[in-house]
Structure 1
Amino acid sequence: MQAFYSRWGNVIFKATIETFQMVTIAMFFAVLIGLPLGVLLTLTRKNGSLENRWVYQGLNTLINLIRSIPFIILLFYILPFTKLLVGTSIGVKGVIVPLVVHTAPFVARLMESALLEVDRGVVEAYEAMGVSTPKIIWYVIIREARPAIVLGLTMAIIALIGATAMAGLVGAGGLGNLAYSYGHLRYEVSVMHTTVLLLIVLVQCLQSLGNHLATRLRKE
């Protein structure tokens, strides 16, 4: 155990930090894009507060198109765009763009589903009182949907962790790249087992945290 830690400790720690960097940065921008899209999808759909068939169909089609492309294909397909935007297509910096493009539509769908769970009668009551649409969105719809939003974001983060594993193919680093480069290509079985164990623990902790937060929000 001591020999393994001495040899691989720093490498595994560095890979773990890289995974956290990719997930944190990509998730921040995905929520920044996905949450407004989810709200817009909810409001512009049929019988929504801002019903607009053309806006809804346009967003719906765009989101479906992006979500239909597997991440590994999207990763290479938008390499020129990634390089144009951030100046590189490798490393942690180079994989953030495809991770955001891949995750934002998923977040938008999760947010749409969460917001649609809010009782329409509650929204109509506030509309009848003359409360403005922005206030209804923030203080009523999003507030009522917080438990579902937390669970949805938890699901998105876990899916994003899986995507970062494939990002190692462009030299992004992270636990996925560690498992592939050392565990698979160099037949370091102990590294592979350690990486898998770390990912299992990480996912379990995130899911437990998400469930706990959602439960607390339901009680408020």
Structure 2
Amino acid sequence: MSPEIIRLIAQATLDTLAMVAAAAGLGTLLGLPIGVFLATSRTGELLAAPRLNLGLGMLVNVTRSTPFIILVVAIIPFTRLIAGTSIGTGAAIVPLTVAATPFIARLVEGAIREVDHGLVEAARAMGATPLAIVRKVLIPEALPAIVLGLTLAIVSLLGFSAMVGAVGGGGLGDLGIRYGYQRFMPDVMLVVVAVLVILVQAVQTVGDRLARRLNKRLRTA
């Protein structure tokens, strides 16, 4: 394998890490409050707003049910509006974020709904406001599960980042398609797959360890 190919693989790896990190950060920033709201806004819950909950839930479901490659193509005008272009690593962050946000929202919702309802009732009995309960009870108690959910989301984003290479999104997927497939260089494709596997294993390991550490802190608190 030539030094030029090695340089391209290194650059593609950095591009993949950059767009996954950006999409994960933006997706968490948007998905976390949406997930918290979905988990606490049904009839009789802390932030009861059932109609808004229903509408937002439907929007989340529609976005989640759209295959990613179709989503990428469908929102090209929006991508151009935000990024100024529809190709390249910067542009790929837009569909990755759009895909990550509802996914993270549902993961956060599920994590919060797993929190013991007795803790919420105890906080209510002590006069805590709904927002204080969310900040001081629900999110801290759900944090280990949220971390595991975010780990799953990042792993999924790594797969999506490879897929977006099919439409000029840059990164490892783009490199694998242009060199490994179109130029018949199976060694490049093999290296791309190996790098993606290593990245997934690294993310999963770090996420699992962090979740266990947070869980231990909760138990000893």
Provide the TM-score with structure 1 as the length reference. Answer: 0.95
Q: CA deviation at 1:55?
A: 1.1
Provide the residue aligned with 1:187 in structure 2: 184
1:8 aligns with 2:18: no
Greater shift after overlay, 166-175 or 62-71? Answer: 166-175
**1:172 pairs with 169, 180, 184, which one?**
169
Letter in 2 for 1:130: G
The aligned residue for residue 116 of structure 2 is 119
Structure 2 residue aligned with 1:198: 195
TM-score (norm 2): 0.95
Structure 1 window deviating more from structure 2 (42-51 vs 17-26): it is 42-51
Structure 1 consecutive aligned stretches of length 4 or more whose deviation exceeds 3 Å: none
The answer to whether structure 1 residue 26 and structure 2 residue 23 are counterparts is yes
CA distance in 2, matches of 1:186, 1:204: 29
Aligned counterpart, 2:208: 211
2:131 to 134, 149, 158: 134
Measure, in 2, the Cα distance between the counterparts of 1:120 and 1:46. Answer: 15
Structure 1's unaligned 5+ residue stretches are none
Instruction: Give 2:66's match in structure 1, choosing from 66, 69, 86.
Output: 69
Aligned residues: 217
The AA in structure 2 aligned to 1:191 is V
- Note if 1:89 corresponds to 2:94: no
Distance of 1:24 and 1:79 partners within structure 2: 21
Q: Per-residue deviation at 1:148? A: 0.2
What is the CA distance between 1:5 and its match in structure 2? 5.3
CA-to-aligned-CA distance 1:5-58 (integer Å, 9 cap, x gap): 524211000000100111011111100110000000011024421222201101
2:99 counterpart SS class: helix
Alpha-carbon distance in 2 for matches of 1:78, 1:218: 39
Secondary structure (helix, strand or coil) at the match of 2:47 reads coil
- Secondary structure at the aligned position of 1:145 is classed as helix
Between the aligned partners of 1:47 and 1:163, the Cα distance in structure 2 is 38
The answer to whether the 8 A contact 1:31-1:107 is kept is yes
Matched-pair contact (CA < 8 Å) for 1:41–1:60: yes
CA distance in 2, matches of 1:16, 1:85: 24
Contact kept in structure 1, 2:87 and 2:170, CA below 8 Å:
no
Is 1:101 equivalent to 2:94 in the alignment?
no
Task: Give the Cα–Cα distance (whole angstroms) in 2 for the partners of residues 5 and 110 of structure 1.
Answer: 43
Aligned amino acid, residue 142 of structure 1: I
Say whether the 8 Å CA contact 2:166–2:173 is kept in structure 1: no
Amino acid at match of 1:149: I
Distance 1:92 1:201 in 2: 21
Unaligned runs of 5+ in 2: none
CA offset digits 1:82-134 (Å, max 9, x no partner): 11122111111112111111110000000000111110100110011111222
